[in-house]
């Protein structure tokens, strides 16, 4: 990070630690905030993503003794803003003393610098518009802008850059998405890599794979791989959150009289389910714990009853149905017209 940005950023406030916090306190605060604002816990939240970046930036500086020392020195010189005055004897010292000496001795001359493009008065050599980079480069004896050595702003190192994030897509079979899988990906540069897809990934979900992006500069980590997952349809099972769904065909006799039937599960096994007498088409029967296994308890398997009506009947079967109609009687639509008018 270019250290000129340090004038405006209060890393101690970002991490919520005092300026005399030791390394352990800085690390503890960073870990707590990083867990709260991690993009994986806040998908689509751009504010949380920016907060996560700011937290990481603050930790990178404050956890490095050398960068922290430079940061503290620059913040001390800034006195909370980008406008500085330098005075002669009797002044406030510190940054003002530096500018007074720089501005032509310890007399009464005063130097004023304004980042908004104002002019320098008094002791700035040559007059005209003063650039803080130029001022500080003369003060510290070094170039203020990035150079081949990777230094940027007032002679302070910006540190090695982390690698760039990479976007990619993959398509998974339904079962692999539910149970988890390892996939092989090929980057635009021709590199191949393997990535572990966690169990329970959803269609359209984005997964951040740490360290799978572009390599960083020497001494810095690689970027991340942002993987968008497309999940293929399954011929039998569907999904509602962490629950799996399945349409369960039953005969008219099973629905009317009750029965125990077999229901398939995604892992290739099966479970027995009791159909209560008089079960209508559309009723959902729940099998606990046979859904998607997440971080907490697994979801359920939801079997939706579909009563199958025979397309053709034998003479004996027809007679039985006619007896049933005569015995049950009644019109199930009798109240429908009245309810429709309500």
Boundary (domain end) residue, out of 179, 197, 231: 231
How far is residue 210's CA from residue 223's CA, in Å, rounded to a whole number? 7
How far is residue 58's CA from residue 68's CA, in Å, rounded to a whole number? 10
How far is residue 31's CA from residue 34's CA, in Å, rounded to a whole number? 5
In which domain, by residue range, is 269 found? 237-316
Backbone φ and ψ for 30, nearest 5 degrees, come out as: -60, -45
* Domain CATH code at residue 196: 2.60.260.20
| 146 in any annotated domain | no
* Count of domains observed in the chain: 4
Q: Which positions ≥6 away from 304 have C-beta within 8 Å?
A: 245, 246, 247, 248, 282, 283, 284, 285
What is the edge-to-edge ordering of all strands in the sheet holding 284-287?
A: 237-240, 243-251, 301-308, 284-287
| 57 in any annotated domain | yes
- 52 with 8, same domain: the answer is yes
- 251 with 219, same domain: the answer is no
Q: Is 275 exposed, middle or buried (0-12, 13-18, 19+ CB in 10 A)?
A: buried
- 74 with 114, same domain: the answer is no
Q: Contact at 8 Å (CB) between 142 and 157? A: no
Instruction: List the chain pLDDT tens, one digit each, 342 residues.
Output: 445 567 778 889 999 999 899 999 999 999 999 888 888 888 888 888 889 888 988 898 899 898 888 888 887 776 544 444 444 444 444 444 444 444 444 443 333 434 344 444 444 444 444 444 554 444 444 444 444 444 444 445 567 888 888 888 889 999 999 999 888 887 777 778 888 888 899 999 998 888 888 888 888 888 998 889 999 999 999 999 999 999 999 999 999 999 999 999 998 899 999 999 999 999 999 999 999 987 778 899 999 999 999 889 999 999 998 898 888 877 888 888 888 887
Q: Which residues of 87-103 are buried (b: 16+ CB within 10 A; e: fewer)?
A: bbeebeeebbbbbbebb
- 246 with 309, same domain: the answer is yes
Other CB atoms within 10 A of residue 252 CB? 14
* Statement: the pTM of the whole predicted model exceeds 0.95: no
Boundary (domain end) residue, out of 180, 207, 231: 231
């Amino acid at each position: 990070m270019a250290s000129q940005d340090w004038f405006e950023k209060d890393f101690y406030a970002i991490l919520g630690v005092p300026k005399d916090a030791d390394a352990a306190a800085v690390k503890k605060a960073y870990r707590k905030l990083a867990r709260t604002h991690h993009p994986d816990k806040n998908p689509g939240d751009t504010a949380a993503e920016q907060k996560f970046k700011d937290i990481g930036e603050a930790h990178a500086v404050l956890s490095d003794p050398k960068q922290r020392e430079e940061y503290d020195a620059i913040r001390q010189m800034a006195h909370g803003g980008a406008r500085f005055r330098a005075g002669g004897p009797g002044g406030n010292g510190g940054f003002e003393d530096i500018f007074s000496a720089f501005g032509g001795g310890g007399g009464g001359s005063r130097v004023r610098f304004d980042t908004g493009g104002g002019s320098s008065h008094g002791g700035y050599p040559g007059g005209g518009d003063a650039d803080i980079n130029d001022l500080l480069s003369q003060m510290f004896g070094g170039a203020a802008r990035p150079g081949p050595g990777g230094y940027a702003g007032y002679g302070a190192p910006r540190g090695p850059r982390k690698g760039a994030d990479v976007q990619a897509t993959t398509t998974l079979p339904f079962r692999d998405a539910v149970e988890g899988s390892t996939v092989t990906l090929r980057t635009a540069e021709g590199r191949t890599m393997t990535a572990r897809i966690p169990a329970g990934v959803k269609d359209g979900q984005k997964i951040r794979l740490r360290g799978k992006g572009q390599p960083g500069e020497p001494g810095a980590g690689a970027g991340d791989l942002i993987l968008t997952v497309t999940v293929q349809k399954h011929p039998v099972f569907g999904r509602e959150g962490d629950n799996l769904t399945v349409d369960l065909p039953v005969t008219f006799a099973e629905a009317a009289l009750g029965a125990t039937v077999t229901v398939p599960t995604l892992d290739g096994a099966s479970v027995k389910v009791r159909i209560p007498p008089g079960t209508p088409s559309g009723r959902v029967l729940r099998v606990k714990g046979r859904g998607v296994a997440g971080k907490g308890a697994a979801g359920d398997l939801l079997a939706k009853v579909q009563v199958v009506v025979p397309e053709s009947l034998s003479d004996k079967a027809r007679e039985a149905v006619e007896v049933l109609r005569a015995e049950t009687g009644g019109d199930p639509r009798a109240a429908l017209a009245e309810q429709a008018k309500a």
